Structure 1
Amino acid sequence: MRLYLVRHPRPDVAAGHCYGRSDLAANVDDVERVLAALAGQGLPGAMPVYASPLARSAVLAHRLSPAPAFDARLAEMDFGAWEMRSWDDIPRDEIDAWSADLLHYRPGGGESVLQVAARVAGFYADIRRAGHAQALAVCHAGTMRLLHSLHLGGTLAEAALRAAQAPHRIGYGEAMLLEI
């Protein structure tokens, strides 16, 4: 199976803000840029399209497919009370506590990386069983890093930690292919 992962277009939010689970609209111009880039790669073609239900992913999914399947397991991490705050306004001791325990610490009282990995792993297992020759998922950088890490193997905790430690280098609208 070929699973294409596509990061959502750039959201309408000020730079430097924490916005995991926050439901932000995508920048209209960036949606058009991403659609053109994906079309240039021949995506999505004739394949099922799955997506995070958050607006910044949903708008692209609706443009790629007349009937995308929305799956909450593809949503970005919930940062709880940190959501929509400037990273500079989040107390340093809280960020340090998260850095000291990447797997279990729940930033802002939201989700831990291990909790997010568990729900993303459920999607990964289901998509593998679905029997598609290929599929496309519009989601978030964190979700993409987790799916890639799960694909590499190991325990759930190993995959979650590997994803959490991976540099954040996935651009808005960037596509990644997993050969499953």
Structure 2
Amino acid sequence: MSIYLIRHTTPLIEKGLCYGQLDIDVTDSFHEEAKLIKKALPEEIEQVYSSPLIRCHKLASYLFPAHEISLEPSLMELACGEWEGIHWDAIPSEVIDPWMKDFVNICIPGGESYVQMHKRVTECFTRIAEGPTPVAIVTHGGVIRSILAHITKTPLADSFGAFKITYGCVMQLQATSAGLQHTILHSVTTEKEQHKPSSFKR
């Protein structure tokens, strides 16, 4: 059994902004990035799932033009509610500090907590994994991190430090006697994304 986790390419948004589930497009480097992603993938894919947000759906359609893409709302990024479209560092400290201290459990105003996202993501992933494989999942950094935490039993609070997930990265999950193992097939060295509070050090 093989599952390929693919993160979207570089999003077209100013650095430092919280963008969560904002439906933003991708930069002009899309085709260059997408070609490299395609080289890392096998020719035979049984099923393709994607977040419905354009930065993922656009990549899924490019990579798998002959497939019907199954759009899964549960594969969307963390819902950042009232903070979406705002500079992380412009959010008042009295509002963001409690979340910074316990981002796993505290819900973003109008959005969700990491544990809430983790629940919807892992339920969706389990259902997909039980279907035909090999399968491709085109999604977001937070979703991939959540899946990796799930299969490795990594605490959510440690998952940011445990898994480096660049734009356009491809990870292969394979079933072994020890459970699902992950391998990075494609990753790029990029400058710091800066799509999180500057004081967020995890």
Same fold (TM over 0.5): yes
SS at match of 2:171: strand
Kindly indicate whether the alpha-carbon contact (under 8 Å) linking 1:52 and 1:75 is maintained by their aligned counterparts in 2: yes
Gaps of 5+ in 2: 176-202
- The 3-state SS of whatever aligns with 2:109 is helix
Corresponding residue of 2:22: 22
- TM superposition score normalised by structure 2: 0.78
Shift of 1:15: 0.8
SS at match of 1:38: helix
Which residue among 163, 171, 177 is the counterpart of 1:176? Answer: 171
Q: What is the root-mean-square deviation of aligned Cα atoms in Å?
A: 1.8
Output the amino acid matched with 2:157: L
Counterpart of 2:187 in structure 1 is none
Q: 1:161 aligns with which of 148, 157, 164?
A: 157
The separation in 2 between residues aligned to 1:24 and 1:7, in whole angstroms, is: 15
TM-score by length of 1: 0.87
How do 1:1-180 and structure 2 match up within 5 A?
1-27=1-27, 29-41=28-40, 43-47=41-45, 48-65=47-64, 66=66, 67-132=68-133, 134-153=134-153, 159-163=155-159, 165-166=160-161, 169-180=164-175
| 1:18-38: CA deviation from partner (whole Å, max 9, x where unpaired) | 0011111112x3321222112
More helix by share: 1
Contact 1:6 1:139 survives alignment (8 Å): yes
Q: Contact 2:24 / 2:55 at 8 angstroms: preserved in 1?
A: yes
Matched residue SS, 1:166: helix
- 1:133-163 deviations in Å (ceiling 9; x for gaps): x11111100001001111113xxxx653343
Q: CA deviation at 1:44?
A: 4.9
- In structure 1, what is the Cα distance between the partners aligned to 2:88 and 2:12? 17
Q: C-alpha separation between the residues in 1 aligned to 2:120 and 2:10?
A: 24
Q: More displaced, 54-63 or 99-108?
A: 99-108
Which protein is richer in strand relative to its size?
2
Secondary structure of the structure 1 residue equivalent to 2:56: helix
Q: Which amino acid aligns with 1:54?
A: L
Could you tell me which amino acid in structure 2 is paired with residue 115 of structure 1? Q
Alpha-carbon distance in 1 for matches of 2:24, 2:44: 28
Query: Aligned pair in 2 of structure 1 residues 152, 73: CA closer, same or farther (>3 Å)?
Result: same
Q: Residues 141 and 168 of structure 1 are in contact (CA less than 8 Å); yes or no, is this contact kept in structure 2?
A: no
